[in-house]
Amino acid sequence: MTTPQAGARDGRGGPVIALDAMGGDHGPREAVRGAVRAVREHGLRVVLVGRRAEVARLLAEEEAVGAMPVLHAEDALAMHEGALASWRRPRSSVAVACKLIRQGEASALVSAGSTGGVVATSTVRLRTQQGIMRPALAVALPTRPRPTILLDAGANADAKPEMLVQFAHLGAAYARSAFGVEEPRVAMLTIGSEPGKGNRLARKTAELLTAAAAQAPHATRLDFRGNVEGHDLLAGEVDVVVTDGFTGNVALKSVEGAVRFTLQAVGEAMTSTTIAKAGSLLQRRALRELRDRLDSDTYGGAVLLGLNGSVVMAHGASRAPAIERACLLAHDLTSGGISEEVRSRVQAAARTARRPRLGAAEDHAR
């Protein structure tokens, strides 16, 4: 069994990442290139999973034969395939990578395959950590000074309040493992920032989160800061924003669409007159850097939290640099001890749930 070691990027003893070589719109070439960069430039330990002959040929093209092991998988999930169809395929590269994790030979999966297929396959094959009801999809928004984690970004369209409380713990564990945030600030996404605002799910969830935050302080307590609204998502004032998978997915895609729309409108405005055009030549570089920063790939992709093994999903359109970043994120989560962090949080929450606790009304009055 590979033991994850904190901070190790030296190629010896760090966590092993099983990389799905077959996923993504650009095929195995970009995956292999990304893997080579992850290994050569960051000393990560990567196993490529996919059609051996094809992957070996691409490794040879990169002059990287022998740089990392290749595990054969004869099948691959199609990008257009539904979630159900995907998890029924036991010989897909994603399924074989999951098997490697179950056997203790790897700690994390990285894939640029279809989100639905990877979520379904890894949920069924890795299973949730003990005590976790559902895995949640987490994304790191490009806020400053550090990213805000939004979850659930789409794994569970219909959720229960108790699940959202667990998502808060999963998000806090992510912030701590990957970004080193000691006491992550958690908020709930709703409409209206005052307590009691929102739909039934949000109102009940806020009650439970308030109660969880009122527990005696210990390493795993929640620092619940209350409600945030859609326009707070990019304000960078909290570390974790919790919501159900339907709302989270709509919010995430609304943000992505609006950023893209605005950058495009800026581009058009800047070339709309001769004077503006002259100005834009001077600024091309500054704007390209901004575009890169706001690019959702920059933060390494979405993470499926709560399973027995870290699962990082790079965007389907990922090129080698995005694959490389996804591998780095998988490495940081695993060597940052996210599994242990989730385990101790869930256990602590279960213990306090067994103790008689204060009623929600009393909690509010504090």
> Where does this chain bind a copy of itself (CB under 8 A)?
116, 154, 157-158, 189-192, 197-200, 202, 229-235, 243-247, 249-263, 265-266, 269-270, 272-273, 275-276, 278-283, 285-287, 289-290, 293-294
One DSSP character per residue, 281-305 reads: HHHHHHHHHHHHHHSGGGGT-EEEE
Q: Shortest approach of a copy of itself to residue 242 CB, angstroms?
A: 13
Quick one: 130 or 273, whose CB is closer to a copy of itself? 273
Q: Which residues of 67-79 are buried (b: 16+ CB within 10 A; e: fewer)?
A: ebebbebebbbbe
Task: Specify the residue, 137 or 328, whose C-beta has the smaller distance to a copy of itself.
Answer: 137
* Closest CB to a copy of itself among residues 313, 328: 313
Q: What are 324's two structure tokens?
A: 């490389």
Min dist. Cβ of residue 283 to a copy of itself (A)? 4
Min dist CB 245 to a copy of itself, Å, is: 7
Nearest CB to a copy of itself, comparing residues 198 and 306: 198
Q: Among residues 100 and 299, whose Cβ is nearest to a copy of itself?
A: 299
What SS3 string covers 234-261? CCCCCCEEECCHHHHHHHHHHHHHHHHH
Q: Which amino acid is at 1?
A: M
Residue 17's CB: how many other CB atoms inside 10 A? 30
Residue closer to a copy of itself (CB basis): 140 or 173: 140
CA distances in angstroms from 252 to 140, 193, 344, listed in the order given: 10, 19, 29
State the minimum distance, in angstroms, from the CB of residue 111 to a copy of itself: 18
Give the up-direction half-sphere exposure of residue 356: CA atoms within 13 A in the CB hemisphere. Answer: 0
- Contacts of 226 by beta carbon, 8 Å cutoff, 6+ apart: 187, 188, 193, 195, 206
Rounded to whole angstroms, the Cα distance separating 52 from 76 reads 12
Least distance CB 202 / a copy of itself (angstroms): 7
- In whole angstroms, the minimum distance from the beta carbon of 191 to a copy of itself comes to 4
Q: How far is CA 48 from CA 26, 58, 75, 92, 331, in A?
A: 16, 11, 14, 13, 15
Q: Which residues of 266-282 are buried (b: 16+ CB within 10 A; e: fewer)?
A: eeeebeeeeeeeeebee
Give the residue with the Cβ less far from a copy of itself, 69 or 261.
261
Backbone Cα Rg of the chain: 21
CB of residue 23 to a copy of itself, shortest distance in Å: 18
Nearer to a copy of itself, 253 or 351 (CB): 253
Amino acid at 154: G
Cα–Cα dist 170/188, whole Å: 14
Q: Please, what is the minimum distance in Å from the beta carbon of residue 187 to a copy of itself?
A: 13
Nearer of residues 37 and 315 to a copy of itself, judged by Cβ: 315
Shortest Å, Cβ 266 to a copy of itself: 5
Q: Among positive and negative, which fits the CA dihedral 311, 317, 323, 328?
A: negative
Measured distance CA(93)–CA(90) in Å, rounded: 9
